[in-house]
Amino acid sequence: MTQRLRIEGRGPVAIALRLFLARQGFAPSTIAHEAFAEPIPAGVAARPLALSLGSTHLLSRIVALPEAAPIRTVDVSLAHHGGRTRIHAADLDSPTLGCVTRYAALHDVLVQALRRVERTTRAPSRFAPHASSEPGEADEIVVRADGDTRSPSARTLDFDQCALLAEVVVERDAPGVAFEHFTAQGPLALLPLPETRRRALVWCSTPQQTARRALLPPREFDDELLGAFGPALGTLRLAGERHRTPLQRRLAPREANPRCVAIGNAAQALHPVAGQGLNLGLRDAFELAQELGTAHAHGMPLENALVRFRRRRIGDRAATVGVTDTLARLFGWTALAPIQSVAFDVLDWSAPLRDRFAKALMFGLRSG
């Protein structure tokens, strides 16, 4: 008798898990998941998603990738000081380091793929007809995905930052280049988008500064952004609405129930620096599906797979949280600016160190 699975969450990580599970032989009739219940809020739909090369490899197993702008170079710099490092895909013998798409585009291709899976199987119901018990019975496996980690027992780090999200049109583009510019108040990223000369802006600063910038007249906003980022792309012009989101790192406590597991934002909500949150969540989804598939194929209780999954994900999760926490806070320590500048130059000169760091961001730190 197949144990039932319940997936909580409607975002890309939750839907990707469904599709990975389909590849492992799980029929839709064995899974409870309300994937299509609500429309995406406008502020979320337009959000840029930086997909690492590893994530594109995982996603290509289950969907045709949405329209996206390739990232071939990451240009990292430090405001008001020397020091710069550039990571090139060519140095890693790779065509790209990843790509940038919008949340709505990725969500749409995942939803369409899931609808195709459900139509193909023609499942008569959401649950296998073997049992008459209600959802929530003792043997049900619950996966919390894309949810909120805000609970009294979550480990929280407040960065005293908010992110301002918007799109801008640039005077002269640098195709394939993603810019990450570190300021004393937080990182400022300008990421390529599929449209020519259009960039996604992720500007992290104090909540007060972010609130003020969100209300600036467009021309004043453009001038302030140019002053903060510099002339690398020429003039910058705001295009569309601005959205704000507070920034905290939140780590969910370990589930007391051995039949429950958290992945993606339900397990760890990260600072957006280096764009690692979704990539870590997609690796969670893939690894969990692999472990559940193995248990399913061998007729083992699925909770055994959860034990192996937690053990297998410790290294990747801890390393990614550590890197993003450090990058989000380190450059706010102005007294260390000269050392930071030298560190950037050393990273740029040391190809082995730079490439190792790049590969960790592209594929994660696998363990187990």
What CATH number is attached to the domain comprising 195?
3.30.9.10
Domain that residue 316 falls in: 5-70+94-153+250-363
Is residue 177 located within the same domain as residue 268?
Answer: no
Q: Tell me the average pLDDT of the chain.
A: 86
Q: Which of 225, 247, 269 is the last residue of a domain?
A: 247
Q: What is the pLDDT of residue 139?
A: 80
**Would you say residue 183 lies in a domain?**
yes
Q: What is the CATH number of the domain that holds 116?
A: 3.50.50.60
- pLDDT the model gives residue 365: 62
**pLDDT band at residue 130 using 50, 70 and 90 as cut-offs:** very low
Tell me, yes or no, whether 275 and 203 share the same domain.
Answer: no
Where are the strands (E) in 29-105, listed by range? 31-32, 48-52, 69-71, 73-78, 84-88, 98-102
Shared-domain flag, residues 326 and 282: yes
Which of the pair, 65 or 37, is modelled with greater confidence?
A: 65
217, 247, 277 — which closes off a domain?
Answer: 247
Please give the tally of structural domains in the chain. Answer: 2
Together in a domain, 35 and 142: yes
User: Taking 60 as the threshold, does the pLDDT of residue 218 lie above it?
Assistant: yes
Q: According to the model, what pLDDT value does residue 245 have?
A: 93
Does residue 142 share a domain with residue 215?
no
Full-model pTM: 0.89
Give pLDDT, residue 34: 87
Instruction: Clarify whether residues 140 and 167 are in a common domain.
Output: no
pLDDT digits (tens, 9 = 90+) for 66-94: 999 999 999 988 876 666 788 899 988 99
Same domain, 138 and 168: no
Q: Is it the case that residue 339 has pLDDT exceeding 50?
A: no
CA distances from 136 to 120, 210, 258, 266 (A): 27, 43, 14, 19
Mean pLDDT of 302-314: 95
Does one domain contain both 284 and 176? no
Distance CA 177, CA 367 (A): 30
Task: Enter the tokens of residue 100.
Answer: 């940038």
Final residue of a structural domain among 213, 247, 281: 247
Question: Which 8-state DSSP code applies to residue 95?
Answer: S
Q: Evaluate if residue 353 carries a pLDDT over 70.
A: no
Same domain, 216 and 315: no
